[in-house]
């Protein structure tokens, strides 16, 4: 199946599969904390928030230390694991787009707020051969809504409700659909 992927790291001919960025371990402590209790999750969240503040003070933070992102991913994985085990995990799966997704709108939505022009210029769209004829389809706006709420760790029940909407395939008013698959994918060509 031919799908599309937006990246600043891929090259034509590359193959990748589950968790190729090796980032799932950043969310798993949040899954484990939520399995214990909401209070345990909140404690881990606040600890991560403090760590972020320390790293920020010394100019050492990055996307991979974004505690809100990984806490949100942890909640989504907790919901998927317990209520939608048949769905592909966001932590180990890869995100793709079909030919109906407007690439300009998608780029503006995902990278529009990026202040580094070199980083923005490095992002390309690629045609991908995906070894999966039925990837799951989800509205990415649910994750973003949950991420915005996650700044308040007491909003955990709202984030859980949103994760259920995501995995059930429910759409927001103006959905942006992403395809999720953990199967092998090969970069065919750049489609910038």
Q: What pLDDT digit, counting tens, does each position of 71-97 carry?
A: 999 999 999 999 999 999 999 999 999
Least confident among 103-117, 132-146, 170-184 = 103-117
> What mean pLDDT do residues 132-152 have?
94
To the nearest 10°, the Cα dihedral for 41, 46, 47, 53? 150
Q: Is the pLDDT of residue 102 over 60?
A: no
Q: Is the pLDDT of residue 37 over 90?
A: yes
75, 163 contact by CB (below 8 A): yes
Who wins on pLDDT, 192 or 124?
124
Cross-strand pairs, 181: 94
- Rounded to two decimals, what is the model's pTM? 0.87
Closest CA to 69 of 147, 164, 158, 165: 147
For residues 78 and 82, give the distance between their C-alpha atoms in angstroms, rounded to a whole number: 6
Q: Is the pLDDT of residue 134 over 90?
A: yes
CA distances from 10 to 49, 140, 145, 186, 191 (A): 31, 21, 28, 10, 12
Determine what percent of the chain falls in helix, strand and coil, rounding each to the nearest 5.
50, 20, 35
Provide the percentage of residues in the chain whose pLDDT is more than 70: 85
Q: Is the pLDDT of residue 50 over 70?
A: yes
> What mean pLDDT do residues 59-71 have?
80
Least confident among 57-61, 148-152, 154-158 = 57-61
């Amino acid at each position: 199946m031919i799908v599309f992927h937006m990246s600043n790291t891929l090259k034509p001919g590359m193959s990748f599969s589950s968790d190729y960025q090796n980032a799932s371990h950043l969310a798993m402590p949040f899954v484990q904390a939520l399995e214990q209790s909401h209070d345990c999750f909140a404690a881990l969240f606040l600890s991560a928030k403090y760590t972020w503040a320390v790293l920020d003070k010394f100019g050492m933070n990055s996307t991979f230390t974004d505690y809100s992102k990984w806490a949100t991913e942890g909640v989504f994985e907790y919901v998927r694991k317990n209520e939608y085990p048949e769905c592909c995990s966001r932590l180990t799966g890869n995100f793709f787009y079909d030919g109906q997704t407007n690439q300009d709108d998608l780029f503006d939505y995902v990278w529009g707020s990026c202040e580094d022009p070199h980083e923005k210029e490095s992002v390309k769209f690629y045609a991908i051969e995906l070894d999966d004829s039925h990837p799951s389809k989800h509205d990415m706006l649910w994750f973003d809504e949950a991420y915005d709420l996650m700044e308040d760790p007491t909003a955990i029940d709202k984030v859980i409700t949103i994760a259920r909407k995501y995995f059930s395939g429910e759409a927001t008013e103006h959905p942006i659909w992403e395809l999720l698959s953990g199967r092998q994918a090969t970069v065919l060509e750049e489609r910038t």
